Structure 1
Amino acid sequence: MLRIRLTLPRRITAQTYTHQDLIHDAIINGLEAAGCNASDLIGLNARLWTFAPIGWHNGHQGWVHSLIISTSDLDITRALIRLKPETINQRRWNGETLSFAGAQLNIEPDPMFPQQTQLACLLLSPLVLQAKQGTSKQWCKNLGDLDLSEIISRKLSAKAGRPIQLTIQPDTLYLRANPKHSVLVNLKQFPNGQKSFVIGMQAPLLIQGSEDDLRFAWYTGIGEKTRNGFGCLGLLEAGVQ
C-alpha cells in the first residue's frame, strides 16, 4: 500500500483542464512508463487504485497544482516508487494538454496508529454511488438518504475478497447547512461533441472499523469509479492542501 503526492512548484503554473479524463489519462501514461500494464489500470480486471486532483474550479474550467495517487495493490505500489513526474503527461485530440514535469514527489505518511478504530475524513474527490430506479441507475445526490455503512462495506468487501465492516457517518451539521452537496464532474469529451459526466457527493465523514479495514479504505478509495479519480479520502484535520 502506498500513497504519493505530486506538487507543482510555485514557478510552474497550475495545469488547466476541462474534463477529468485528461488527468486520468496522464496518470495512466506515467504508471505505464513506471512498469504497469494498461490492463492493471483500466478495464474490468484493473487493480485497486485511486487519485484526486487538488486545485480549484471556475465554472467548467479546472486548475490542478497537486495530485494524490493511492493504491492498496503491491504491483502498483512498486510502480509508484519508480514513477517519474515528467511521465505524467497527456495531449488530447482537441489540443488540451497536461504535464506534471517539474513536480515534487513525496510519499504520504500512513495515517493509522496501532489499534486505531476511526478516521475523521473529508473527500478529496467526490464519492460516487448509483442506485437502481426501475431498470436504470441514477446518480445518488444526498448522503443523508443512504446507508453508507452497508453500501461502502459491501463494495469494499468485494474488492478486498474478504469481509470488511465499516460504520460511516456523514457530518449531519454539514448536511443540514449544505442540503445540496452533490457536484457534477465533467469526465470526457468525444471528438463528435458528445460528453460524459459523473455526479458525486462531498461531505466530511467519520469512518469507524478495524485498523486493517480503515487502512484498506484509505488506500483504495470508497464508492464507485475510484480508478477514475473518485472517492479518494483525506484527513479532516489536514484539510485540502
Structure 2
Amino acid sequence: MHKWIGENNETHGKRSLHSFSWLQNTSANKNGINLNKDAYFFISAYDTDLIKRITKGILSDPETFCGSKVIDIQIKNDTEFGTKERFFLNSPILIRQRDGERINHITYLDANFSELLTENLKGKLLQANLPIDGVTIELDKSYHSPTTKLVTYKGVENKTTMAPIIIKGSPEQIAFAWTVGLGESTGIGFGAIK
C-alpha cells in the first residue's frame, strides 16, 4: 500500500482512514498460496484523493509480491446503507487496550470488545469531522462460529477476531465504517469489511 501511496507519506503511522482486504479467492498449500485467476483484494478510503494516488501508484508499478501483479482495477461507487447493517469481514479485526505498561489484545471473547470497537470508530469519525452520536458496533451473536486468529505482523503476534458484526447508526456513519474499516491497523490490512 505505502509503495503505491508514495514514500514518506502523511498516512503512514497515523490512525488510518483507509483499509484494504486480505487476498480473496486464493488457496493455500505447504509451499505458500496459489493466486487463482479470480483472486482480488480491495482498497477503500474516506479521502478520494488517496484512492487516486493509490490507483496512480498501481498503474505505474503493479507488482505486488513474488512475481504477482495487479492486472485490473475496478472502481466501485459507495453502497447505500440503512441505520442497521450486518457485515462480514475480509480481514480480521484487531483491537487493543493499554493496561499500564501492558497492551492487551481484545477479541470477541472479552466483555469490552464491542465497547472498544465502537470507541475506535468514534475516534475515526471525529478525525474526519463527522458526528459520533448514536453509532454502535456489536458482535452478531446469532453467528454460530466466531473465531480468534493469531496474525503475525513484523514479528508481533496479534490476537484478532473473525466474526460478522452489526453496526447501528446513521447511514453516513455506517458508510464511513464500511470505507475505513474497523478496529486498529486498517492501513496494514486489518478490519476490512464487506
Please, what TM-score do these two structures have when normalized by structure 1? 0.65
| 2-structure distance, mates of 1:210, 1:199 | 30
C-alpha root-mean-square deviation of aligned residues, in Å? Answer: 2.8
Q: Which of 82, 87, 91 is the matching residue for 2:61?
A: 87
1:119 aligns with 2:85: yes
Name the count of aligned residue pairs: 186
Partner of 2:192: 232
1:109 maps to a residue whose letter is N
The CA deviation string for residues 55-90 of structure 1, in whole angstroms up to 9 with x for no partner, is 355589455521111110132022245353572435
Identity %: 24
Inter-partner Cα distance in structure 1 for 2:79 and 2:97: 31
2-side partners of 1:159 and 1:62: how far apart?
Answer: 37
List per-residue Cα deviations over 1:129-160 (Å, max 9, x = no partner): 01233421111122562252543443323432
Match of 2:72 among 77, 101, 104: 104
Pair 83,133 (structure 1): closer, same or farther in 2 beyond 3 Å: same
CA contact (8 A) 2:94 2:190 kept: yes
The structure 1 residue matched to 2:145, chosen from 178, 193, 216, is 178
Query: In 2 relative to 1, CA 29–77 (structure 1 residues): closer, same or farther, beyond 3 Å?
Result: same
Q: Which residue of 1 aligns with 2:181?
A: 221
Of residues 31, 40, 60, the one that matches 2:10 is 40
How many angstroms apart in 2 are the aligned matches of 1:159 and 1:63? 38
- In structure 1, runs of 5+ residues without a counterpart are 1-26, 92-96, 189-194, 235-241
Cα separation, partners in 2 of 1:154 and 1:63, compared to 1, 3 Å: farther
The one-letter amino acid paired with 1:40 is: E
Equivalent AA in structure 2 for residue 122 of structure 1: F
CA distance in 1, matches of 2:76, 2:101: 42
Runs of 5+ consecutive residues of structure 2 not aligned to the other structure: none
The residue that corresponds to 2:119 in the other structure is 151
Which string of whole-angstrom CA distances, capped at 9 and with x for unpartnered residues, describes residues 163-196 of structure 1?
Answer: 324222212132xx336x11111222xxxxxx22
Query: Which one has more relative contact order, counting CA pairs under 8 Å at least 6 apart?
Result: 2
The answer on whether the counterparts of 1:40 and 1:47 sit within 8 Å (CA) in structure 2 is: no
In the TM superposition, 1:55-70 aligns within 5 A as 55-57=26-28, 61-63=32-34, 65-70=39-44
Is 1:199 aligned to residue 159 of structure 2?
Answer: yes
CA distance in 2, matches of 1:168, 1:47: 18
Q: 1:211 aligns with which of 157, 165, 171?
A: 171
- 8 Å Cα contact 2:3-2:57 kept in structure 1: no
Q: 1:198 to 1:61 in 2, by over 3 A?
A: farther
Q: Determine the C-alpha separation between the residues in 1 that align with 2:11 and 2:185.
A: 12
Change over 3 Å in CA distance of 1:144–1:199 after alignment to 2 = closer
